[in-house]
Amino acid sequence: MPLFYLMHIVHLLTVILWIGGLAFVTMIMLPMAISTPDPLQKVLTFQRVEHRFARLARVYNLVTGISGLIMMFLMGWHRYLFTLQGLPLTIMFLIWVFWFVMLFGLEPIVIKKMLENLAKSGNKMDIDAVFKRMNRLHWIMVLISLAAAVAGALVAHGPFSLY
Ligand code: HEM
């Protein structure tokens, strides 16, 4: 099924760019921002990276979701959603929904505003507390995304494989 193979490659490459980018922001950018002594500089550096990455991540989210859904319907696997055998597929789908809500709902409305307010307030205590929370949140998001990738591998191989 050529379309399935094509979507599989598109899905995998997009997931690599997405999780790789998220890991870079979490493991390199955020610690760099946190170690910046000037509070305003700290917020502005992170704000610029986060905005650019969030824009890309929205594209990655759409491409991953569309290619995943096409593969799922091509194989008739939608019947397994929310069943025990389809557990990894369901987990991958729900993690995708979580990301969709984060990227299209929370990021532009809540996180963007929060960073703008922080930059305006310039309060060092507030900024340090928010960055600590943001650091934890980013690590959780990396782990959740890796869980989706593990779920993807389990759809293809192992006791929960749908083949
Ligand atoms: C956070 C979002 C997602 C991530 C990180 C992710 C990750 C992955 C990975 C790494 C694979 C490759 C598995 C392999 O070949 O060993 C995969 C395959 C697949 N994914 Fe996703 N996925 C996501 C969202 C979705 C969504 C929303 C759907 C559709 C409901 C979906 C459906 C599929 C299907 C049908 C496969 C093919 C399994 C196969 O035959 O290899 N994925 N996914």
By C-alpha distance, which of 103, 128, 139, 144 is closest to 25? 139
User: How many whole angstroms separate alpha carbon 33 and alpha carbon 80?
Assistant: 43
Query: For ligand 1, which residues put their CB under 6 angstroms from it?
Result: 8, 11-12, 15, 64-65, 68-69, 71-72, 77, 92-93, 95-96, 99, 145, 148-149, 152-153, 155-156
User: How many whole angstroms separate alpha carbon 69 and alpha carbon 93?
Assistant: 9
Q: Is residue 35 helix, strand or coil?
A: coil
| Separation of CA 12 and ligand 1 centre (Å) | 7
| Separation of CA 80 and ligand 1 centre (Å) | 14
Q: Determine the pLDDT at residue 75.
A: 97
Q: Determine the pLDDT at residue 88.
A: 97
Q: Determine the pLDDT at residue 47.
A: 87
Q: Which residues of the chain have pLDDT under 70?
A: none
- Percent of the chain residues past pLDDT 70, beyond the cut: 100
Residue nearest to atom 31 of ligand 1 (CA): 68
By C-alpha distance, which of 41, 3, 163, 15 is closest to 96? 15
DSSP calls for 14-34: HHHHHHHHHHHIIIIIHHHHH
Q: Determine the pLDDT at residue 28.
A: 95
> In the chain, which ranges are continuous DSSP H helix?
2-24, 30-34, 39-74, 87-101, 112-121, 124-156
Q: Determine the pLDDT at residue 68.
A: 98
The rounded mean pLDDT for the chain is 93
> pTM value?
0.91
Assigned token pair, 48: 């610029």
- Longest Cα–Cα distance of the chain, Å, equals 57
* Cβ partners under 8 Å of residue 44, min gap 6: 119
Q: Determine the pLDDT at residue 23.
A: 97
* Cβ partners under 8 Å of residue 161, min gap 6: 154, 155
Tokens 């050529």, residue located: 2
